Amino acid sequence: MSNRIEPIRSVKGTRDLLPPDTSLWQRVEAEAHRIFAAYHYGEIRTPILEETALFARGVGAETDIVTKEMYTFLDHEDSLTLRPEATASVVRAYIEHSLYNLGGVQKLYYIGPMFRRERPQKGRYRQFYQIGAEVLGSQNPLVDVEVIEMLVLFLERVGIREYQLLVNSVGCSTCRPAYLEALRVALQDVKGAMCVDCQRRADTNPLRVLDCKVEADQAIIEKLPKIIDHLDPECRQHFDRVSSELQARGLVYHVTPRLVRGLDYYTRTTFEITSGALGAQNALVGGGRYDGLSEMLGGPSTPGIGFSIGQDRLILAVQAAAVLQPGNPLAAYVVWMGEPTLAPAARLVRELRAQGLTVGIDYDSMKIKKAMGIANKLQARFAIIIGEGELASGKYQVKNMATSEQTELAPELIGEFVRDKLRITN
C-alpha cells in the first residue's frame, strides 16, 4: 500500500505566474508606471479586503458581480469581501482621507489582484489582475479624452496594435429614468421570448438586459430603444464634445449604443477596448465616468472617470503581438576553475551585478566543459573564465558565446567591455 501524499494544487481559477512570463508582467507594469507618471498620476494601494457594503453600494446590489461573483465571508460580525474591482475602493479612500481638500483634480492609479467567482476559462480567472487609473474632481469631457489618450498610448507602447475602442454615453440620473421607463415598456412586449435572467432583469434592472450574452436574445436587444437617443441636452453636449475631441486627437472609436457596462456606478461616458487576439474573453479594458459614486458612498459630490485594464488579458495580447519577449537573459556567466579562483570569481560577479548586469555563477566546482555547457544552456552572451593561469596574470578570459571570440581583460575592465558590446547605455 502506498503512503504517497496527494500534492496540494492551486485553487480553481487561480494560477501561479512563473518566470520567464513574470518578466513580461514586470515590463508591462514598468511601462504603466512610466506613462502614468508622465500624465502626473500618483500610485494608490488600497487593501484587498473591504467591507462588503462598499461593493453592494458602489458596484450595485443587482449586478452579476455582487449577486454571484464576490468572495464574501463573515469575520466575526463583519461581512468582508475580497475586492472584485478597485474603483469603489479608490473612491472610499478619496473620501476617507479627504483628498478633495487637497484642491484640484486627483489622479490616481493602481496595479493589483481582484477576485471574482466566475467560471474559469482562458482569459478569465477568479484571481485576476488589473492596471487601473482614476481621475476625481472634474466633469470636463477633455478629461475623458485625456484618460482614453493615455490608455491608448500605454497599449501602443507595450506592442498592442489590433484593438477596438468602443464608446457610449449612459446619461445621468436626470435623463436615465425616462430612458429606463422607455426600455421597461419595450421589454414588456418582448421579455417573454428572452432568457430567464433577462426576464428578471427586465423588472429589476432593465439596463442589464443590454449586456446579455445569450445568442438568442441578441436580435431582440438590437431593436430595443437606445440610451444615446434619450440623453438630456447636457449629457448630449458632453458626449458630442468627447466624440469631437477623440476625432481631433486622431483616436479611432466606434459608438456602441449597447455598451452600458456591468457595474451600476456609470454615468455619461462609458468605454471598452476589445482585442481580436483574445478569443471569447475579448474585453481588454473597461472604463467610464461615475459622477455619482462619491455621493453614493457618503462622500461629497465629486465627478470621476477611469478605466481598468485586465492585466492577464493584456499579457495574452502582448504575447500574441510578440513585440516584447519574455526573459531576463544572462549578460555573462562566470566559470571558475580550482578553489583559489572562487573568491576572485565571486568578487567579479558581485561587481558586475552592482553595475546592473545580469550575471550567473555556480558555486559547485565542476570541469570547464560542463561549466561552458551551462553557459550555453543559459544563453549567456559572454562566458568569463578564471583559471589559475588567469589569476596569476591578472587577466581573465572573456568569451563571446555567439562568435567564440576570446578577449583577455583585467577584471576592472570587464564590466565596461560587456556593457559596450551589449550596448547598455545607462
Which DSSP string do the residues of 233-292 spell out, in sequence order? HHHHHHHHHHHHHHHHTT---EE-TT---SSTT-EEEEEEEE-GGGTTS-EEEEEEE-TT
* Residue whose CB is less far from ligand HAM, 133 or 385: 133
Q: Does 63 bind ligand HAM (CB under 6 A)?
A: no
Start-to-end Cα distance in the chain:
61
Stretch that binds ligand HAM, among 45-53, 136-144, 212-220, 284-292 (CB under 6 A): 284-292
Residue in the shown chain whose Cβ atom is closest to ligand HAM: 310
Residue type, 164: Q
Least gap, CB of 308 to ligand HAM (angstroms) = 4
Q: Does 284 bind ligand HAM (CB under 6 A)?
A: yes
Q: Does 312 bind ligand HAM (CB under 6 A)?
A: yes
Cα gap 83→80, rounded to integer Å: 9
Distances (CA, A) of 293 to 42, 55, 91, 175, 237: 21, 11, 7, 17, 22
- How many residues bind ligand HAM (CB under 6 A)? The answer is 24
Q: Does 310 bind ligand HAM (CB under 6 A)?
A: yes
Task: Rule CB under 6 A: choose which of 58, 141, 287, 292 binds ligand HAM.
Answer: 287
Stretch that binds ligand HAM, among 93-101, 242-250, 308-316, 365-373 (CB under 6 A): 308-316
* Residue whose CB is less far from ligand HAM, 206 or 287: 287
Which DSSP string do the residues of 356-425 spell out, in sequence order? T--EEE--S---HHHHHHHHHHTT-SEEEEE-HHHHHHT-EEEEETTT--EEEE-HHHHHHHHHHHTT--
Q: Does 307 bind ligand HAM (CB under 6 A)?
A: yes
Least gap, CB of 205 to ligand HAM (angstroms) = 16
* Residue whose CB is less far from ligand HAM, 32 or 380: 32
* Residue whose CB is less far from ligand HAM, 273 or 409: 273
* Residue whose CB is less far from ligand HAM, 132 or 206: 132
Residue type, 19: P
Cα gap 370→347, rounded to integer Å: 22
Residue 304 buriedness (CB in 10 A; 0-12 / 13-18 / 19+): buried
**Residue at grid coordinates 449586478:** 63
Tell me if 186 sits within 8 A of 202, measured CB to CB.
no
Tell me if 28 sits within 8 A of 315, measured CB to CB.
yes
Q: Does 110 bind ligand HAM (CB under 6 A)?
A: no
- The x, y and z cell numbers of residue 359, run together, are 550575471
Which among 221, 199, 196, 202 is positioned nearest to 210, based on CA atoms? 221
Least gap, CB of 88 to ligand HAM (angstroms) = 8
Which among 289, 230, 276 is positioned nearest to 257, based on CA atoms? 230
Site map for ligand HAM, 86-105, x if CB under 6 A? Answer: -x------------------
Stretch that binds ligand HAM, among 199-207, 305-313, 315-323, 400-408 (CB under 6 A): 305-313
Q: Does 58 bind ligand HAM (CB under 6 A)?
A: no
Cα gap 392→343, rounded to integer Å: 14
* Residue whose CB is less far from ligand HAM, 128 or 163: 128
Give, as ranges, the residues between 122 and 161 that touch ligand HAM (CB under 6 A): 123-125, 128, 130, 132, 134
Q: Which residues in this chain contact ligand HAM in the complex, by CB under 6 A?
A: 85, 87, 116, 118, 123-125, 128, 130, 132, 134, 262, 283-288, 306-308, 310, 312-313
